[in-house]
Structure 1
């Protein structure tokens, strides 16, 4: 049956069908279990400040948490309570423990494994509900556990009271409160999901940590979970023991852990955790409380204000927490207590210097990266509170990109003569753990140079040239285009001309020579396409990769001398246009959705117009407007082949913005902001949510929140585009730059670009496969720029450069890899170079005078092409294609605007 379907319906529809079947099977198995929550006995509904709290009478677990301002909305999965009322399914209000008595081994205890009615306790004063949880815990537990819902200072608090009832010391090696909020998207339309569901993101920052729970549409109200008593946010553990089926429609639940030593010694042994694992000893008869506070916010932008109101530390890093070694970063800390000292781990990884205090009372520090890799700053405050801030120190961006290109075009350069699938020459997928090229994989695309998981490497190699062209690398890519891309990956003749195949690798052992396929690879899955399936051109998501390759080569051929030699620029631009048109002709079903890297189609259109290719430009624009009008008709216009996705938004925003569909652009942007958090942790700051692509593009295959998968780089494009329209909105710059630098944060010291970083505390490392990383690098390549702005409280700030203030004049040395884009926010001035690079920009805020310093020419770049936005001053240079043509010299050139 599966083989029959595989040849007759799009593979992703098959995948969704199979996953839906699996999910239904899991749900049916859950449904068959006996109900244990005694829902028929009813509920207690309680007014709790900004919330209406609904509790199951028998268990006193949370059946609903409704904001008073939107009474029909529930932060919890209460809509599935009748299905999830079984043993082992977790609810808000549950508790997980790992305990041991000295000399014994760790033992697990949880309130979810075997339900039984809890003993309700009398309430008084500010206590809303209380229960002794002994009936739902094993008899041998050496602790008494009581749970209280109470009001404190106007906010809802959930508190667990633990008492050592034994005659021995008890070590609490793990204590976690499962954060059960409604992120189950299964069975929901996009409209329903945006109305009913939430995402949640952790700041794993110890005493200053928090969990932000956000509605999908990004408009609030949102929920902020804060530590109230002894609930340092030490670790964030996936609750894999909950049988709710995890899939592309359910990321899974996680728990907030105040102690994690027991896991660090066992399940997570040998893995460097975000925070130092701790435990707590309870003496006989000793009582200890663990509590969380629930606070409502109007939306993600209000979070710093709410944190200050709640007397919590607020941190802001510039340009973020991915820290190139040549960047003089800033860190602003605001809290009501003095800082006693900093602790940096590994020792010497960062240099932190005090630079004063802002008008609002924020303490300002300069932070410089000294040692490559992850580092942790622990801030010790006078009241004993500890805050951890997590940095990832990388090489200077220029070196990162250079290493990336070198790795791709040496270690990943595949030129095996006689390859039966005609993949030579190419940049092929790579297994970093095995240190080998991936020429076979059970997922055809991984070894087949197409789809995201297979095209990612050669796409990254091409996009690297846009940022930092290298003649030897370009020559190899010319061979790839002529010998492999055009005619092998992409059809060069017939009715499917310009169509892009799903893979050039396939599994048909009966038609191939003996020994072609590795017997150790499992080719018995749906992903092992036969030739007919691999040749299918109906998946639109493959077309932007190819169009981007042609577009980059056009730019290099058009704006550099002698760098590209195999075809004239006209050939490349037309190939890009033809590929964009072919997507709609040959892959119309998926073309209705926003495409990852779809920004390239807008860039192609702009270049067609610059070249006065009027007929092609009008055709492409009309086709894209047809798609944009379709999106305009939808409430949430960024669907995809998946039930919910985080990559279509990029192109949907860009075309909606281009055609003036401002309402849909705003809807799209708000949704992006809902899943791209801003927080003092490099892994989550600007990290666009994605949790299923380790299945399709990774080596370690599982449902798991991915750290800086390609969505980070791609979704930074619309965020920063919108910021340039609204430069007063610093929040957008923080989000966008977090995603931008997140796109290169996982590249290794020697230049390997992995699919993403694993967030599970049992792993916390990059994936071993290159996978679909190239799409993320596309986001960096087209979007990398230096941003200069002035904040009323924090002064002059540079993202992508080092800022110096001299006699009230501003000097910024650029630190980006390409050094070809600058946005000067006070003047709303967008400066770009099609060729040439900036070294420095000088700005006089009083006079508005801007001076640019351009770097010297090189062999292939004798001329710079400068576009200077809406400047009124006419520069003394010839204009070509809308840009000033500036002759470069052996030394730097100064240009005054």
Structure 2
């Protein structure tokens, strides 16, 4: 039915059929990327209306009565128009290609003299997202949707981050207020989905609200009196990249926001907000516990400071002219409080019964009902997903986080809980001992008890030891126990620190050996979360005198880095054809590749050396992919900084939001030529998933998502942006946080690793602090540490950088750091006296420094370490 027409000029190309776009691309795109799903298209319409008291639905562009006029030339413009009608309504769709923009106008007319209530009007957008095994995902397209009134937009970019960026937006005067996906979509987040945006949503919005969903924008419809018409319009264009896209959106009448430190914000931090607009703006909050202070305007940039005294979701409404849009923030308790509450919650929910085979297990918790899950009660988890309770990434994530927290702020009772987990659940249960056939191997799903007692002798039973993802979590657990014993002698452990280090080493070694031997699954060819601990294990082995073990594990690690740099064609593959699980790993491997790379060209085709050129290219490519699969232009806490798996309508704020955020932060601090914009995204990513840690004070009910003191410190595994679909674990959700924690503690590991106090000379905001309060003092700046960890400080300036990392001690919370103008002097105040810890310092492009008191010289670009003594360290720039 209908012919397909070209709408093409020297800038962009489109194909239209029956009023629906089935192809889109930029003419000068060398890759000739296809952005639209050729089967589903862009622009299919769905209407819901009431006529003569009867509800009805209609898809006007799929009717047999549709007519079109083909393509018409109007000077340099090309136009297309089609028309459809039924017993009471007509719909006209027109496209005009004018220079670099395709304008679409949709007109709905009441053909009768009686009123027709337009309830829903949906516009479907289906991008070219087609992931498959053995298929390079880099050229596939991800949809980034932001729906919040007149400032809504949908951007579509390649998974590898290369431009251009295809953008759809409501034209000036039009808006999108609601979004949804078809019922059949999203059973797995890797499937290609259609997103439907709604200018009108009275029926579907009312239905969702009656089900219990909390809509952020009130639903609305429109009544057409006799012979009246209603219009909505969309504009489509290509931008060179994300920065160009922001400029284009502003030029086309929208407001663009930059928010430091992101959109998930601890209550003890203030927000620096810059709104870029071509007209005056007014900023309003939905609650009285938000203080908005206007600071200044610089051309089209308008700067504000936001302070929050409450907790939970906050809606900041931006009015500009006759239009408005929204920013969505989530306010948490201070990060240090979150760490303590989560750790205490996990230790409190540990199985203590001696007669249970799963004694020592840190249990899953139903935040909604207060049910503690176990192998005797899987609650609402069904089928093969019951593994979530004891093993795999969800089960192993809890001790991974709890042990990570001990390396920062140890608590003896929590260390004891970890010792119970290791002694009762891991050693000889989850993990084979040295006396068993596969020493240090880790059992997989559904749980180790079932597998050890299985009648099956093979890999689906007694030798189900081949899932490579499980090993790094246990290696991290052991290494963290070693670090806790090393850095905090006041903390007692049942085994020596060196014993834990040896177990960490053997577990990491088993990861490379056992799965490949049993199943042919090589850990050398897949990025694994938490495996970034391996270089730390290698370094610790060398420090403790285990040179052979260090070299042996280091050999595997170097081979893995070499494979990713020299042979890897698709960094998105995991247990699914497309996944975001590797971005923490690919970055640490890129760092290793750069460390061992050779500047000398190797012409021997059998040579094993990594060229510096290939290592540098891999570093940039994997960061570009990381950014492309992450919320960037979407100013909402559940999108900004979150990783996206196919689109941003399902399962956001996953563990990789923070873990991959660490990679972005490390890149911004140590590698980026232009670090400031990626630094904003990185820190927003580091903070993002803290929104899923349910906590609060008495006034807030001890939690935004699941109130009640018993839930203070529980966590949510992900976020569902849709107002009524199912979670990845197959539980119904009306939008918001899950009631199971699933794998989110892995994200919290990344949150701890990335936590930093940063002073940045931002070209847009000026001197700005991340993870700290900032105030001017004499000829310098005072920072009050608020990152919750107090282990890292970075100065990122236009002329150079300073990096400081503390071991066994933490920055004082008040007046933590003083930086004198011109980086002439740096003072740090810290608390705690770890006997084995060091303070590590690196300066870049600022010349040499002297340690005040000792006179020790810190040479530019050379790593320096000293012992933390006296609670203070002062560095003076050498003249």
TM-score normalised to structure 1 length: 0.84
User: Does 2:89 correspond to 1:147?
Assistant: no
Distance 1:183 1:510 in 2: 41
User: Does 2:329 correspond to 1:391?
Assistant: yes
Task: After TM superposition, give the deviation of residue 350 of structure 1 in Å.
Answer: 1.9
- The question of whether the paired residues in 1 share the 8 Å contact of 2:202 and 2:219 is answered with yes
1:538 pairs, out of 459, 466, 491, with: 466
1:218 pairs, out of 161, 177, 192, with: 161
- The question of whether the paired residues in 1 share the 8 Å contact of 2:451 and 2:464 is answered with no
Q: Which residue of 2 aligns with 1:16?
A: none
Q: Which residue of 2 aligns with 1:17?
A: none
- The question of whether the paired residues in 1 share the 8 Å contact of 2:804 and 2:839 is answered with yes
Q: 1:71 to 1:638 in 2, by over 3 A?
A: closer
Q: How does 1:644-663 map to 2 (within 5 A)?
A: 644-660=578-594, 661-663=615-617
User: Does 2:873 correspond to 1:887?
Assistant: no
Task: After TM superposition, give the deviation of residue 179 of structure 1 in Å.
Answer: 1.0
2:811 pairs, out of 817, 832, 838, with: 838
2:116 pairs, out of 156, 170, 178, with: 170
Q: How does 1:814-833 map to 2 (within 5 A)?
A: 814-826=785-797, 827-833=800-806
Secondary structure of 2:425's counterpart equals helix
1:486 pairs, out of 427, 435, 440, with: 427
Task: After TM superposition, give the deviation of residue 43 of structure 1 in Å.
Answer: 2.7
User: Does 2:412 correspond to 1:430?
Assistant: no
Q: Which residue of 2 aligns with 1:753?
A: 715
Q: 1:511 to 1:458 in 2, by over 3 A?
A: closer
Distance 2:560 2:216 in 1: 43
2:825 pairs, out of 849, 865, 878, with: 849
Distance 1:475 1:875 in 2: 40
Q: Which residue of 2 aligns with 1:408?
A: 346
Distance 1:720 1:817 in 2: 16
Distance 1:799 1:793 in 2: 15
Q: 1:448 to 1:761 in 2, by over 3 A?
A: closer
Q: Which residue of 2 aligns with 1:9?
A: none
1:676 pairs, out of 620, 630, 638, with: 630
Q: 1:508 to 1:502 in 2, by over 3 A?
A: closer
Secondary structure of 2:105's counterpart equals strand
User: Does 2:315 correspond to 1:380?
Assistant: no
- The question of whether the paired residues in 2 share the 8 Å contact of 1:233 and 1:257 is answered with yes
1:348 pairs, out of 281, 288, 298, with: 288
Secondary structure of 2:575's counterpart equals coil
Task: After TM superposition, give the deviation of residue 713 of structure 1 in Å.
Answer: 1.2
- The question of whether the paired residues in 1 share the 8 Å contact of 2:249 and 2:255 is answered with yes
User: Does 2:128 correspond to 1:182?
Assistant: yes
Task: After TM superposition, give the deviation of residue 173 of structure 1 in Å.
Answer: 2.5
Q: Which residue of 2 aligns with 1:617?
A: 550
Task: After TM superposition, give the deviation of residue 237 of structure 1 in Å.
Answer: 1.1
Distance 2:746 2:462 in 1: 21
Distance 2:251 2:723 in 1: 32
Alpha-carbon deviations, 1:770-808, whole Å to 9, x = none?
A: 211121112112221122111233211111111112345
- 4+ residue stretches of structure 1 with deviation over 6 A? 506-512, 528-531
Alpha-carbon deviations, 1:732-787, whole Å to 9, x = none?
A: 11221122111311111211122101121222221111211121112112221122
User: Does 2:687 correspond to 1:741?
Assistant: yes
Alpha-carbon deviations, 1:392-420, whole Å to 9, x = none?
A: 1111111111111111111x21222311x
- The question of whether the paired residues in 2 share the 8 Å contact of 1:96 and 1:108 is answered with yes
User: Does 2:68 correspond to 1:119?
Assistant: yes
TM-score normalised to structure 2 length: 0.85
Q: 1:667 to 1:160 in 2, by over 3 A?
A: same
Task: After TM superposition, give the deviation of residue 626 of structure 1 in Å.
Answer: 1.4
Q: 1:509 to 1:295 in 2, by over 3 A?
A: closer
Distance 2:89 2:358 in 1: 63
Task: After TM superposition, give the deviation of residue 551 of structure 1 in Å.
Answer: 1.3
User: Does 2:197 correspond to 1:256?
Assistant: yes
Distance 2:836 2:476 in 1: 24
1:331 pairs, out of 273, 279, 293, with: 273
Q: 1:288 to 1:534 in 2, by over 3 A?
A: farther
Q: Which residue of 1 aligns with 2:644?
A: 689
Secondary structure of 1:706's counterpart equals coil
- The question of whether the paired residues in 1 share the 8 Å contact of 2:19 and 2:61 is answered with no
Alpha-carbon deviations, 1:17-72, whole Å to 9, x = none?
A: xxxxxxxxxxxxxxxxxxxx46xxx532122462111123xx24222112111276
Distance 2:33 2:117 in 1: 36
1:714 pairs, out of 632, 639, 659, with: 659
User: Does 2:13 correspond to 1:63?
Assistant: no
Task: After TM superposition, give the deviation of residue 490 of structure 1 in Å.
Answer: 1.0
Q: 1:366 to 1:864 in 2, by over 3 A?
A: farther
Task: After TM superposition, give the deviation of residue 581 of structure 1 in Å.
Answer: 0.7
Q: Which residue of 1 aligns with 2:44?
A: 94
RMSD over equivalenced CA pairs, Å: 2.9
The more displaced of 773-782 and 531-540 is 531-540
- The question of whether the paired residues in 2 share the 8 Å contact of 1:251 and 1:705 is answered with no
Number of aligned residues: 798
Distance 2:59 2:748 in 1: 43
Alpha-carbon deviations, 1:107-143, whole Å to 9, x = none?
A: 33224665665333784637634334426xxx34x32
- The question of whether the paired residues in 2 share the 8 Å contact of 1:173 and 1:278 is answered with yes
Alpha-carbon deviations, 1:467-488, whole Å to 9, x = none?
A: 4322211111122122222221
Task: After TM superposition, give the deviation of residue 149 of structure 1 in Å.
Answer: 0.8
Task: After TM superposition, give the deviation of residue 545 of structure 1 in Å.
Answer: 0.6
Q: 1:531 to 1:599 in 2, by over 3 A?
A: closer
Distance 1:876 1:261 in 2: 71
The more displaced of 537-546 and 447-456 is 447-456
Q: Which residue of 2 aligns with 1:20?
A: none
Secondary structure of 2:418's counterpart equals helix
Structure 2 portions without partners, runs of 5+: 595-614, 696-711, 725-733, 857-862
Task: After TM superposition, give the deviation of residue 658 of structure 1 in Å.
Answer: 1.6
